[in-house]
Amino acid sequence: MPRPRSFDPGDVLDKAKAVFWAKGYEGSTINDLAEATGLRTGSLYNAFGDKHSLYLKALDRYGEKEVAAAVAWISRQDCRGAEAVAGFLGMIAAQVESGAYSDGCFLCNAAADQAVHDPAIAARVSANMGPLRQAFLDRLKSDPRTADAAVMLADFALATYLGMFVMIRGGADGAMVRRAVSVAGAALSV
């Protein structure tokens, strides 16, 4: 009879996610993951499968926490839809400028580093980006000024969001990101 788990799977996924986020898939060894989670490698394999399976679960965990928090923030803003979307982008840009997200966006990193070579990762990235795009779309459709162009503007907002993190990973400073988001905010407020 197997022993009961003596760890919180969500906590382990959060710790593994942090390793993958900082080091990328290729740069993260199973020993790095074991050390960060406090589990032996055998326990990691037994609970989560191989490194690839753990990475997919970490991407889903990012969707459950970070993407869900972003969607909730956008949804609860008491303003027109375009302002909610622009406000979200501005808030993220301000956090980037203050030094947050120096490792970029986990989904964006996965898309750039692994999705091209791995259909399972590409599917997870797309599935986890979907709710954010849908939140943008819902808010933009609800705004009479942007309803007719909501699909195009939601795609633009998602591209802006992801582009911020590519810029940061590429060495851009926070002020450059803020300027780009300022232009995007103006474009959203058509």
pLDDT digits (tens, 9 = 90+) for 119-138: 999 999 999 999 999 999 99
The pLDDT assigned to 4 comes to: 55
Question: Using one digit for the tens of pLDDT, what is the confidence trace for 135-149?
Answer: 999 999 999 999 999
> Residue 20: inside a domain, yes or no?
no
Name residues whose C-beta falls within 8 Å of residue 159's C-beta, 6 or more positions apart in sequence. Answer: none
Range of the domain at 76: 59-188
Residue 41 is assigned to a structural domain of this protein: no
Burial grade of 143 (CB within 10 A; 0-12, 13-18, 19 or more): buried
Answer whether residue 23 is part of any domain. Answer: no
Predicted TM-score of the model (pTM): 0.89
The predicted structure's pLDDT at residue 3: 59
Does some domain include residue 70? yes
Domains of the chain: total: 1
Is residue 42 included in any domain, yes or no?
A: no
